[in-house]
Structure 1
């Protein structure tokens, strides 16, 4: 498989923030923004792999600035690093007040997607290489993030095992 540049996978989606998308504070629901992030991230991953992809993890999503009703939200994503069947995708969301032109980064996130075959099993993907200094920075720091994800996943499995599938009221709590 031939290696691809990070920018090959770039995916961008811009949307108006309308009243049904907002909470009682007049700002975009966090879950709605997370859905945009997952959607655009999956497009970038699929564009890179040219295979179906599934979301394996989302690193922390920090809401850095509110997205207000009437603003636009622009979500950009691209593949920053690859392993055998998985890829890290960087996602940035920018809010814009169309009347003033004021723009703010409202969220950044790193996601991991896995390419799958027709039977839903992980399948190999091309490697990725950076072109810009920003891409280089993300590419070089990706192995550290991957190791953190591995540790976090291990901890998540331990917690899941501890709590099991029963509801608390079934356990005499």
Structure 2
């Protein structure tokens, strides 16, 4: 099942990137990165979010939240790790699902910028991986991905400067 909104058309190196809002079925994706028991941002965290999957290989975002000062680095390194894992599995398609990060209240632009930076960095690698799906669960996250992809040169330069 396709998402409610599908944005296509980004090409980074040998990777084709698509952004979707509301994607339901991930069975056509080789490797996915999803939430596993990500705690809601509360005083007494008792509620967690877990995303189900039918993908061939499921990797999980680390349990991070707005309280983690190194959350950007964690998102970036997890995204790179997922693509490196995909190479080892000879995967052709990777999906990044951000619902758990959104629920953890991590700013949408931070999530988008770090995942897109990782994709841009990985796009220089020659491998079988050729499709990336970015799955947002909110219109705000969708627009943050769109902005990051449209401004990848600026975003990449910001990281190099800081």
TM-score (norm 2): 0.35
**Greater strand share, structure number:** 1
